[in-house]
Chain A
Amino acid sequence: MALLILALPWFTAPLRADERPWRILMLHAYNYTFPATSLAADGARERLLQRSRRKIEFDAEYLDLVRFSEPGHERLVADFLRERYAQRRPDIVMAISGEALPFVIKHRDAFAPGVPVVFVGAASGSLASVSRPPGVTGHFFDLAFNFREMLALAERLQPQAKRLFVIAGTARLDKIWQDIARTEIERRARKFETTYLFDLEYGALREATSRIPSDAIVLGLSVFRDGAGKTFLPVDVANTLAGLSPAPVYTPYVSQLGKGLLGGFGETFDAMGRAGADVVLDILGGKDASSIPPRANPESSHRVDYRALQRWNLSESNLPPRTVMLNKPPSIWEQHRNAVLAATGAFALQTVALGALLVQRRRRQRAEALLKDSEERLAFAAAAANIGIWRLDVGTGGLWATEHCRAMFGLSRTAASLTLDGLLDAVHPEDRHFLADSFKSATQFGTQVNTEFRIAIPDREIRWLVARGHSAFDDAGRPSRISGIFADITARKTAEAEADHQRKEVAHLMRVSVLGELSGAIAHELNQPLTAILAYAQAARRLLARKNPDLGKIMEVLNDITLEDDRASEVIRRLHKLLRKGESRTEPINLNELVESTLRLLNSEAISRRIKVDTDFQEGLPGTFGDPVQLQQVLLNLLMNAMDAMSGTSAPERLLVVGTRSSGSGAVEVSVSDRGRGIAEEQRSQLFKPFFTTKEHGLGLGLSICSKIVKAHEGKLSVDNNPDRGATAVLALPIKINAAPVS
């Protein structure tokens, strides 16, 4: 009602259709993605539309002065504005954010000569540095004053704090903040041990912020640009840092509150817009712009995020008077004021209402008791199953967890406020970022948490846990809460590691046995370079014994000896690789090279078995990732099987065709075709089972191990009969590198 009455005078002055509408040109310092200027412009527009007696047409341009800092940019924009507004003169130019003011002053004559300029949200510091020509006025805020009030708020809320951390970037406005901070902190009566986190590269800044001691005061000023010259939205930086900081973070931009920042002093951006709009209205009402001094906004106040206050366990009673509290849940009185007022008006109704409330309260108490009971039972059952239950509030960062859950992380049941960082401290350093990332993604995008990690607590054995959780969303579709469990999976992990070890042992034994079969061929492979070396050496001796030794020729022979020696060591290296028992490694794999190298190992064997080997390699084959030794073992097995299959084939027909290609379905394939006896129908299903063999001396482990290796590489292994004769084995691996890897 009061609102209505207040608004009435404006309604009594009706819009007059015959008059030309006012034209207001809003020049934003940044672009439309920048929240602060958008909020300020919206605030101004709303106020103007509400209170102007004449129709208003708005034009808006984005100067984008920070992202485009090259010299030609300003002139380009000025030229553009001149062309565009030559026939469309604005009545007033509004400079949204003080950052736009120097531009407007410099170029006003080009696009709006003589037109009054009203600036919104100019910092007092930046205002002092420009000379204000006639017709320019507006709204400013006093940065130093806001800073002092912000620090005063911090001092009241954290009376014990000894250390002070101040964060600012490297852009023009960031530097102004730096100066203010230094001056004000110097002048301050209460002395702090102060660390200035100025001019840091963003990564380093985050790192430094995450290491701030938890009893410190953190002042997050503005970071438009970091030490590496990268530009940022200050609101993003402030909120990210608030999330990382182990201590509460204060801000001079109270519009940024709500996502983890604790509080500060100032006005909201829309309030700045409204203050600027009031100046505009005065000018439109006939006042001379030059006669209006720039003014500060009376709407400035202390503002604090209630949820952050709770999170940091700070006392509400320490707040300065008239502090605006954001996100505070309304009290019963505030919520039910009308109901209570109505009840006092009607006694009978009140009695009934009281009765009803009593019943409701008892019901609620009973329901709460039941709920508590069932929660306790659930927690007990979960603890018995070695499962910890937790819930994370995305807004405040507050973490609730069962006692057992705390115990899993080595935290005492009395630890006051539980945070995610508190839990992360107990996580094995190698796994910590996995878990942190998983939670981060869940809080930002609502993804599932599903991560296995180790807990490393001094003097306790390392345990494996799995974190599982899913998000609940608020009305805007943003994750608001994540709930889930931690379960101890150490026993499973131990069994897995044991099985993995066994598998590796068997795989290694199989490699040794395959190489055993090949020993003759490999000896021959080594014998060739030895033969050559011996012959070269003897030739050299003969050449030297001549009357006029040809030294050039002898040099050539000696070079040949070293080449042959390289060849011999290559054979040994290849063997050594296959015989090694080491940990499995993942490397970029060029399949062509791997097949080539495996074929070289089998060269002598193929010759002695009178088998012709044809290759058909696709050039520039995309790459994959894998363990080269394991994959070579698979290839070796496939090739040996194919050669074995041709023992009954007449010599001239023994042909092994090895091909590589990239299939249409995102895989690279190696195919090994033989002209042997093929696979009998009844054997097909048995092929990959352990201990199934068609060979007299076979163990029946080759293909079963191969299929395990291939599965671990997310690949596929298949064997099919050819249409004419023999069989073709195909090993398919997912493409993970689009170009051919160079080794």
Chain B
Amino acid sequence: MTDRRSTVFLVDDDPGVLRALTILLDASGYEVRSFPSAREFLAHHDVSIPGCAVFDVAMPDLDGLELQAALAMDGTERPIIFITGVGDVPTSVRAMKAGAVDFLIKPVGEDQLLDAIAQATERDASARQHQQELMSVSVQFAKLTPRERQVLTHIIAGKLNKQIAYELGTVLNTVKVHRGRVMKKLGVRSVAELVRVAERAGIRAASSNS
């Protein structure tokens, strides 16, 4: 967690509930952004801000579940907690299947709500970290030349330099030079490490008899 105060996006059409939850979450140490409707939220939602969202289910116009679907369609991954006045099983199942963190029934106890928010914030943070790593790996992979990349696929397939030279129709020394540059550019010191990084970046090993 970079900032101690992570943000909770709150959407509820009931002004009283919206205000009360805002004050509660604020008092509990969260940065709260509250919206009286799904449309308001969509208009001002900043994906880059870390944190989670708390949606009321029953709202006029766009309801909570529709808002969840709208976010998913955009590819936005924001952990969502639903709160609802009437907890019917089909709705809660639908919400959970679509990836909700929790489905809480009003009136919501603070422990329940804060637990769920903590869990959701955690999930958001780890997702962001994963994303971060992914980003840095792919930046490094982008530095490789096409030939070096070709050599890499053969290395992680567990081939010897000799075999690689033969398969690429080049001499052993050239392969050695490529291999050294790949290790250096990706900042790894062993083949084992190289294999792990490549795997994370989604690079597949070359097949043995191409």
- Do A and B pair up? The answer is yes
Please indicate the chain A residues that have their CB under 8 angstroms from the CB of B106 in the complex. Answer: 527-528, 530-531
Please indicate the chain A residues that have their CB under 8 angstroms from the CB of B21 in the complex. Answer: 532, 535
Q: How far is the CB of B171 from chain A (nearest CB, A)?
A: 69
How far, in angstroms, from A189 to B59 measured CA to CA in the complex? 96
Q: How far is the CB of A531 from chain B (nearest CB, A)?
A: 4
Please encode chain B, from 1 to 14, with 1 for each CB lying within 8 Å of some chain A CB and 0 for all others. 00000000000011
In the complex, the chain A residue whose C-beta lies closest to that of B16 is: A532
Please encode chain A, from 520 to 542, with 1 for each CB lying within 8 Å of some chain B CB and 0 for all others. 10011001111111111011001
Q: Main SS of chain B's interface residues?
A: loop
Q: Is B60 an interface residue (CB 8 A)?
A: yes
A608 touching B60 by the CB < 8 A rule?
no
Q: How far is the CB of A489 from chain B (nearest CB, A)?
A: 54
Q: Is B180 an interface residue (CB 8 A)?
A: no
Q: Is B23 an interface residue (CB 8 A)?
A: yes
Q: Is B192 an interface residue (CB 8 A)?
A: no
Please indicate the chain A residues that have their CB under 8 angstroms from the CB of B61 in the complex. Answer: 612
Q: Is B205 an interface residue (CB 8 A)?
A: no
B27 touching A560 by the CB < 8 A rule?
no
A539 touching B107 by the CB < 8 A rule?
no
A534 touching B27 by the CB < 8 A rule?
no
How many B residues are at the interface, by size bracket? Answer: 20 to 34
B17 touching A528 by the CB < 8 A rule?
yes
A538 touching B107 by the CB < 8 A rule?
no
Q: How far is the CB of A32 from chain B (nearest CB, A)?
A: 71
| Contact partner, A539, options B20, B59, B85, B86, Cβ 8 Å | B20
How far, in angstroms, from A557 to B26 measured CA to CA in the complex? 13
Q: Is B108 an interface residue (CB 8 A)?
A: yes
Q: Is A356 an interface residue (CB 8 A)?
A: no
Please indicate the chain B residues that have their CB under 8 angstroms from the CB of A520 in the complex. Answer: 86
Q: Is A607 an interface residue (CB 8 A)?
A: yes
B85 touching A604 by the CB < 8 A rule?
yes
Q: Is A567 an interface residue (CB 8 A)?
A: yes
Q: Is B24 an interface residue (CB 8 A)?
A: yes
- Whether A536 contacts B85 in the complex (CB less than 8 A), given A531-B106, A531-B107, A542-B27, comes out as no
Q: Is A564 an interface residue (CB 8 A)?
A: yes
B60 touching A539 by the CB < 8 A rule?
no
Please encode chain A, from 490 to 531, with 1 for each CB lying within 8 Å of some chain B CB and 0 for all others. 000000000000000000000000000000100110011111
| Contact partner, A608, options B24, B58, B83, Cβ 8 Å | B58
How far, in angstroms, from A543 to B28 measured CA to CA in the complex? 9
- Whether A527 contacts B20 in the complex (CB less than 8 A), given A534-B109, A538-B110, A612-B61, comes out as no
In the complex, the chain B residue whose C-beta lies closest to that of A524 is: B85
- Whether A533 contacts B20 in the complex (CB less than 8 A), given A528-B106, A539-B27, comes out as yes
B24 touching A531 by the CB < 8 A rule?
no
How far, in angstroms, from A608 to B63 measured CA to CA in the complex? 9
Q: How far is the CB of A464 from chain B (nearest CB, A)?
A: 52
Q: Main SS of chain A's interface residues?
A: helix
A536 touching B107 by the CB < 8 A rule?
no
How many A residues are at the interface, by size bracket? Answer: 20 to 34
B23 touching A536 by the CB < 8 A rule?
yes
How far, in angstroms, from A79 to B59 measured CA to CA in the complex? 82
A534 touching B108 by the CB < 8 A rule?
yes
In B74-107, the 8 Å CB interface with A consists of: 83, 85-86, 106-107
A604 touching B28 by the CB < 8 A rule?
no
Q: Is B19 an interface residue (CB 8 A)?
A: yes
Please indicate the chain A residues that have their CB under 8 angstroms from the CB of B108 in the complex. Answer: 531, 534-535
Please indicate the chain A residues that have their CB under 8 angstroms from the CB of B59 in the complex. Answer: 607
B58 touching A524 by the CB < 8 A rule?
yes
> Which of A524, A532, A560, A563 has the most CB atoms of chain B within a 10 A radius of its CB?
A532
A532 touching B19 by the CB < 8 A rule?
yes
A535 touching B20 by the CB < 8 A rule?
yes
Please indicate the chain B residues that have their CB under 8 angstroms from the CB of A539 in the complex. Answer: 20, 23-24, 26-28
A557 touching B23 by the CB < 8 A rule?
yes
- Whether A531 contacts B86 in the complex (CB less than 8 A), given A536-B23, A542-B24, A604-B58, comes out as no
How far, in angstroms, from A238 to B51 measured CA to CA in the complex? 92
B24 touching A536 by the CB < 8 A rule?
yes
Please indicate the chain B residues that have their CB under 8 angstroms from the CB of A604 in the complex. Answer: 58, 85
How far, in angstroms, from A627 to B193 measured CA to CA in the complex? 84
How far, in angstroms, from A567 to B61 measured CA to CA in the complex? 24
A527 touching B23 by the CB < 8 A rule?
no
Please indicate the chain B residues that have their CB under 8 angstroms from the CB of A536 in the complex. Answer: 20, 23-24
Q: How far is the CB of A542 from chain B (nearest CB, A)?
A: 4
How far, in angstroms, from A689 to B83 measured CA to CA in the complex? 44
How far, in angstroms, from A520 to B110 measured CA to CA in the complex? 24
Q: Which B residues are within 8 Å of any A CB, using their own CB?
A: 13-14, 16-17, 19-21, 23-24, 26-28, 58-61, 63, 83, 85-86, 106-110
Q: Which A residues are within 8 Å of any B CB, using their own CB?
A: 520, 523-524, 527-536, 538-539, 542-543, 557, 560, 563-564, 567, 604, 606-608, 610, 612
A-B complex: 6 closest residue pairs judged by Cβ atoms: A535-B20, A532-B20, A539-B24, A542-B27, A524-B85, A532-B16
